[in-house]
Chain A
């Protein structure tokens, strides 16, 4: 049994210890500016999501809208640890990860508005943000469907002899999909450097963890595949960083997969269309989390306490992010929809890159 295994760790126990994660080496080494950046990203995600909710309610955004509000510190903390050869992929609740890797609010908002200026030209929508130039491989709509792709990114790193890891995010509902369990087995069998990150917000749509998973300690499933695992809380960005750093370092250094379960919470429904979210959980439960574990407030209080931030600076950053989100909605609103000719581009690489007209045969079948 390897030494990093933490069989007894649970979120409650860790939280009860009230360990000061900010003083862990990986966090202590952060400069003042880097710490402020973490705050900026967390606040940015919050304000972006709030603005996109307004746009959705105004009928400006179609389809589904799965908000990341309440979970911001998870993507922010983990992405902040990414190195040159690290890659990331996630499911449909993908806005936080997108902003954390550095995608602009404009391209993300415009994508949700279905505009040509969106990151996917309006072809993907809310669930399908991509930025391969930032090692961000989406944004995937089918529960757990992205997990084998994440293992594939890690497989490619190993195949090419590159030192890095792939981060494959999933929700607590995804753990009961066959593709994820198949992927856990492959990743461990082949020793590929993938870190699976379960963002456990307690509910797979309207079904609580208790009602969907026989073993509620989701990370324990790794034992069945001889894989290392850890559990931590997701509201404190410094805790996320401390624990994820171990997983990512191990993946990079030892070429081994890791299963990380992060206990977090979403304030809104599964999607905005989930009108029942206050029926399958209590208002008190939501309010209690907001009061004691709000990721924006938690980092703000920490940075105020250690003198990194002043109230004024915090307020200024908050306002900047509100303004940026507002501007992104304006940008999206004013952007054009792609021309109809765009419906049939980006289908085949070979067609899109056939400048010389060498391709044979018919690719599209319209009368």
Chain B
């Protein structure tokens, strides 16, 4: 299987879907002629032209809303946010219109759009460019959100998101764009709502998503080598819909859970997961559910401090040892 980058995997997904469906188009800032701020769409404008790759002015509210309106008539726009942080100026469009038009019309409408872009910290750019709003998106019934942790999932989830008839947010990660994974050449889809067990184990379940899932996997290996602990790592992949079954099955097996995410802890995704575990696997737990999240403050600029603020291997191992105590 060829090794390709996370960036290349997303590009392949976009390229294939543009070719598969004439209604799929990509719009956003610098996506066409500039080849993408993070080069995710590199070469696609040259290949598919102005109709399918559309450069927009810096007007997130207008082009998000335009995509929503166009989708009502059968267009399937993939809207790139240069940073998911920039979606905050389009919140009315995304959190009122994309999420609620179907409901408020009594099911007469549906909004098949994809909103994609990087949603991560750890890049030394300060609080305004480091948001991880998967929790905010998941808090809006009507929206779906996925957080691929690797190239294989990024491609498969992107294709599923584009074919989905509801609005789907795909949260990417700039720190993963250049990382490589094995990705098959033949076509595949990763369904929404299916978690992935990255590593099986018996002593502790780590539930994570996005890049944190990869950090958790690394921490799990260290925990095994240095502490002799067998850790099962569950990568959620999809936040809403959520694969509760896989989480609960794993926790019922290991009896202990550590939740790891880059979200801030208060009302983060893991606050909900923790609730589900205590509600549905209470009798199986041998210890309280523990969490490792971003340290609860606006994202700090200073590189050394930010690297401590967001989850890292050291903090995950410390959290795991607490959960195992």
Chain A contact residues, CB within 8 Å of chain B: 87, 89, 118-124, 128, 130-133, 137-142, 145-157, 159-160, 166, 178-179, 182-183, 185-186, 189, 345-350, 352-353, 359-365, 367
Contact = CB atoms under 8 A, between A and B. Distances in A.
B102 A186 contact: no
A152 B192 CA distance: 27
Nearest to A338: B106
B19 interface: no
A179 B65 CA distance: 9
B93 to A, nearest CB: 6
Contacts of A151: 62, 65-66, 69
Interface stretch (B234-242, B254-262, B317-325): B234-242
Nearest to B59: A182
B57 interface: yes
Nearest to A111: B106
Interface of B: 23, 25, 51, 56-57, 59, 61-75, 92-93, 96-97, 101-110, 112, 141-142, 144, 164-166, 191-194, 238, 240-244, 272, 276, 279
B241 A137 contact: no
B66 A186 contact: yes
Contact of B107 (A139, A140, A189, A352): A352
Nearest to A151: B66
Contacts of A362: 193, 241-244
Contacts of B92: 142, 145, 179
A41 B70 CA distance: 29
A314 B4 CA distance: 74
A146 B101 CA distance: 11
B65 A147 contact: yes
The residue among B63, B64, B276 with the most chain A CB atoms within 10 A of its own CB is B63
A112 to B, nearest CB: 13
A159 B27 CA distance: 13
B93 A186 contact: no
A186 B276 CA distance: 44
B109 A347 contact: no
5 contacts: A138-B104, A149-B68, A156-B72, A179-B92, A348-B166
Contacts of B67: 152
Contacts of B241: 359-363
A360 B193 contact: yes
A350 B164 contact: yes
B97 A140 contact: yes
Shortest beta-carbon contacts, A-B, top 8 = A152-B69, A361-B193, A148-B65, A361-B241, A346-B107, A149-B69, A182-B62, A156-B73
A186 B69 CA distance: 14
Given A155-B66, A179-B65, A186-B59, A120 B97 contact: no
A218 B7 CA distance: 45
Contacts of A130: 104-106, 108-109
B238 A361 contact: yes
Given A148-B93, A362-B244, A120 B105 contact: yes
